């Protein structure tokens, strides 16, 4: 409890608020460039930080492209492949996607891209709602160490890491602390 | 409890760590709310194009009902199907219990089949606890004697919360055969933990003053209680059990405690009418009242599925 909002020892700052803002703005530009039919795009965030990142990217798209695109929430807990292996379970949240998904482009948004297992679960979850025309992936940080053949379409920052290192992302809205990304050495 | 920026889920402080659900008496308010929130997520699965998630794929659930039940058993069964678990149903008559096998031996046999989740209904209070202490499998109490029926109370709480937006501060009247009711007991524990005021109503033989020790009110005058209630939960009079010694007859019960059309006029317009089923139309509740606008009896059935999915996911989903 008393460690709240303190930086851990041996943590290296990677991005500050301005760097995060620029990265998300660039992702918004790339989404506009690559999707001529922007009105068909849905930004689906993975709780909880992915949802906030999707909201911010939608804000930049509104500013740059003068269009309101839809956002959604895609909860992956029910679709994970490690059920029964954890001693405690986090909260499952309801997914919210604009339906039907047919002929739409769903862009999955997450904070840190690591093994790829969360994104695989997210793709499964999306399929249970319908069959989108295409699914893309936007992440703030790609830290490497993929365990599945999945790669992001939009990357805020590539950050090569050792597997024992940890990436910590905090956002004002979800963590009640100033935007920042840290690399924590174990 | 966790807190701080290293937490992956900063908004939510609680975590689920139980393999068994035996009763609501053991659960904290946080844990009860955790199940209700999880049920919200699972309720939404029923609206998807594919109403099935792989959460418990590869797990085996045994529905072991030593006492007969149709709705609870099928609700658990459908919940398990929607979570992709495999299900075996065993009833008392089909099991070797009738051949003299002890509960423990039956359970050991189920374990030898590598059952992961055991849903147990039993006429003896404490049977689920007995097995939970001895088995690696998750044990879910689907009703044990007159002790507890936790998933029924959870779905009642869920239904109240869904309709009224909260539970704290509401006045809930539970009416009928309280003494023999596991539904009443689990509801009392859950409602009090979440801050509701509970009044028990029924004949003094079925609602002894003893219950006041739990922190509830006891009343023998339904007409005093109904106008103030935000929720009325009617329990089934188990007349098939021939409890003649507890009240003189159905006619007198209806006259003194039945929710008749006439009585229902004195309810607040937004008062919810609940019943765990099966209903005895014309006994504890008039047919028209059971089908009226204030009745949420069918919502309870729908929500039961979501709540049981949540319970199976949580208890069956953790490492044991």
Chain A CB contacts of B317 under 8 Å are: 83-84, 86, 89
Report which of residues B205 and B195 the model is more confident about: B195
B13 touches chain A (CB under 8 A): no
Q: Please provide the distance, in angstroms rounded to a whole number, between the alpha carbons at the two ends of chain A.
A: 21
CA distance B310 to B35: 6
Taking residues B43-71, report their average pLDDT: 91
Mutate to test the interface with B, among A11, A91, A170 (most CBs of B within 10 A): A91
Asked, as a colleague might, if the bond just before A100 is cis with ω within 30 of 0, I would say: yes
CA distance A132 to A6: 42
B44 touches chain A (CB under 8 A): yes
CA distance B179 to B265: 28
Is A64:A29 a contact under the CB 8 Å cutoff? yes
DSSP assignment letter at B153: H
User: In the prediction, which pLDDT does B96 show?
Assistant: 60
CA distance A177 to B137: 42
B93 touches chain A (CB under 8 A): no
Cβ distance of B314 and A90 shorter than 8 Å: no
Using alpha carbons only, give the angle B191, B28, B77 rounded to the nearest 5 degrees: 75
CB-CB: which of B5, B14, B50 is closest to A128? B50
pLDDT at residue B103 is higher than 60: yes
B41 touches chain A (CB under 8 A): yes
Cβ distance of B319 and A84 shorter than 8 Å: yes
Taking residues B94-120, report their average pLDDT: 79
CA distance B107 to B128: 11
What is the full DSSP assignment across A123-174? HHHHHTT--BSEEEEEEEEE----SSS---SEEEEE----TT-EEEEE-HHH
User: In the prediction, which pLDDT does B12 show?
Assistant: 46
pLDDT in tens, chain A (186 residues): 444 555 556 789 999 999 999 999 999 999 999 999 999 999 999 998 999 999 999 999 999 999 999 999 999 999 987 777 788 887 888 999 999 999 999 999 999 999 999 999 999 999 999 999 999 999 999 999 999 999 999 999 999 999 899 999 999 999 999 999 999 987
CA distance A14 to A23: 12
B99 touches chain A (CB under 8 A): no
Q: How many residues does chain B have?
A: 320
DSSP assignment letter at B318: B
Mutate to test the interface with A, among B39, B158, B317 (most CBs of A within 10 A): B317
Query: Which residues on adjacent β-strands are paired with residue A44?
Result: A72, A108
Q: From the CA of A133, how many Å to the nearest CA of chain B?
A: 16
Taking residues B64-82, report their average pLDDT: 92
Mean pLDDT of chain B: 89
Cβ distance of B318 and A87 shorter than 8 Å: yes
CA distance B140 to B287: 33
Q: How many residues does chain A have?
A: 186
Taking residues B25-33, report their average pLDDT: 96
- Using CA coordinates, name the residue in chain B closest to A174: B10
Chain A CB contacts of B16 under 8 Å are: 88-89
pLDDT tens by residue, B230-273: 999 999 887 665 456 677 788 888 899 999 999 999 999 999 99
Taking residues B41-61, report their average pLDDT: 92
pLDDT at residue B63 is higher than 80: yes
User: In the prediction, which pLDDT does A34 show?
Assistant: 97
Asked, as a colleague might, if the bond just before A26 is cis with ω within 30 of 0, I would say: no
Taking residues B286-315, report their average pLDDT: 96
User: In the prediction, which pLDDT does B93 show?
Assistant: 67
Report which of residues A173 and B10 the model is more confident about: A173
* B295 pLDDT tier (thresholds 50, 70, 90): very high
User: In the prediction, which pLDDT does B1 show?
Assistant: 32
Taking residues B44-72, report their average pLDDT: 91
Lowest mean pLDDT among A77-91, B89-103, B185-199: B89-103
CA distance B207 to B259: 17
Q: Is the ipTM of this complex over 0.85?
A: no
3-state secondary structure of B130: helix
Pick from B43, B237, B248, B45: nearest CA to B154: B43
pLDDT tens by residue, A32-83: 999 999 999 999 999 989 999 999 999 999 999 999 999 999 999 999 877 7
Chain A CB contacts of B319 under 8 Å are: 84-87
Taking residues B17-31, report their average pLDDT: 96
Residue A107 phi, psi (nearest 5): -105, 115
Cβ distance of B317 and A175 shorter than 8 Å: no
pLDDT tens by residue, B211-229: 999 999 999 999 999 999 9
Chain B CB contacts of A80 under 8 Å are: 55
User: In the prediction, which pLDDT does B133 show?
Assistant: 92
3-state secondary structure of B51: coil
Which residues have C-beta within 8 Å of that of residue B2, sequence separation ≥ 6?
Answer: B13, B15
Asked, as a colleague might, if the bond just before B278 is cis with ω within 30 of 0, I would say: yes
Chain B CB contacts of A176 under 8 Å are: 10
Where do we find the tokens 């990436």?
A: A167
Cβ distance of A175 and B5 shorter than 8 Å: yes
User: In the prediction, which pLDDT does B10 show?
Assistant: 39
CA distance B284 to B175: 9
pLDDT at residue B198 is higher than 70: yes
CB-CB: which of B4, B55, B314 is closest to A3? B4
Sign of the alpha-carbon dihedral angle for B4, B5, B9, B15: negative
DSSP assignment letter at B281: B
Asked, as a colleague might, if the bond just before A48 is cis with ω within 30 of 0, I would say: yes
């Amino acid at each position: 409890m008393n460690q709240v909002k303190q930086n851990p020892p041996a943590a290296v700052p990677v991005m500050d608020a301005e760097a995060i803002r620029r990265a998300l703005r660039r992702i918004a530009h790339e989404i506009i460039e690559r999707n001529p039919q922007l009105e068909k795009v849905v930004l689906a965030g993975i709780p909880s930080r992915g949802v906030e990142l999707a909201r911010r990217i939608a804000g930049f798209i509104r500013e740059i492209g003068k269009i309101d695109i839809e956002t959604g929430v895609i909860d992956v807990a029910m679709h994970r492949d490690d059920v029964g292996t954890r001693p405690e379970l986090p909260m499952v949240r309801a997914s919210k996607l604009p339906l039907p998904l047919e002929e739409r482009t769903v862009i999955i948004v997450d904070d840190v891209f690591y093994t790829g297992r969360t994104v695989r679960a997210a793709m499964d979850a999306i399929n249970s709602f319908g069959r989108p025309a295409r699914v893309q992936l936007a992440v703030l940080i790609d830290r490497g160490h993929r365990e599945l053949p999945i790669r992001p379409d939009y990357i805020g920052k590539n950050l090569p890491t050792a597997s024992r290192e940890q990436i910590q992302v905090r956002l004002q809205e979800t963590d009640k602390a100033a935007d920042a990304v840290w690399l924590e050495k174990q | 409890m966790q807190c701080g920026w290293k937490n992956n889920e900063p908004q939510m402080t609680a975590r689920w760590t139980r393999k068994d659900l035996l009763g609501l008496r053991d659960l904290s308010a946080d844990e009860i709310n955790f199940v209700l929130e999880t049920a919200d997520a699972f309720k939404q699965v029923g609206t998807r194009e594919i109403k099935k998630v792989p959460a418990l794929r590869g797990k085996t659930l045994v529905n072991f009902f030593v006492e007969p039940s149709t709705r609870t058993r099928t609700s658990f069964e459908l919940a398990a199907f929607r979570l992709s678990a495999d299900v075996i149903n065993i009833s008392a008559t089909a099991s070797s219990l009738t051949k003299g096998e002890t509960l423990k031996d039956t359970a050991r046999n189920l374990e030898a089949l590598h059952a992961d989740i055991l849903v147990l209904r039993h006429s003896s209070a404490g049977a689920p606890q007995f097995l939970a202490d001895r088995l690696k499998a998750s044990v879910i109490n689907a009703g044990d004697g007159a002790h507890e029926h936790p998933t029924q109370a959870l779905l009642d709480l869920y239904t109240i919360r869904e309709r009224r937006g909260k539970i704290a501060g509401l006045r809930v009247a539970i009416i009928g055969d309280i003494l023999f009711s596991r539904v009443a007991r689990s509801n009392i524990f859950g409602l009090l933990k979440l801050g509701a005021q509970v009044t028990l109503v029924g004949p003094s033989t079925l609602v002894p003053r003893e219950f006041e020790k739990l922190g509830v009110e006891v009343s023998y005058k339904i007409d005093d209680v109904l106008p103030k209630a935000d929720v009325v939960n009617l329990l089934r009079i188990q007349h098939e059990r021939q409890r003649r010694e507890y009240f003189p007859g159905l006619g007198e019960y209806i006259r003194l405690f039945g929710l008749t059309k006439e009585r229902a006029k004195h309810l607040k317009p937004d008062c919810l009418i609940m019943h765990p089923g099966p209903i005895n139309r014309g006994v504890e509740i008039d047919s028209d009242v059971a089908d009226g606008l204030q009745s949420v009896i069918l919502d309870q059935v729908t929500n039961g599925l979501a709540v049981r999915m949540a319970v199976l996911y949580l208890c069956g989903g953790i490492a044991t």
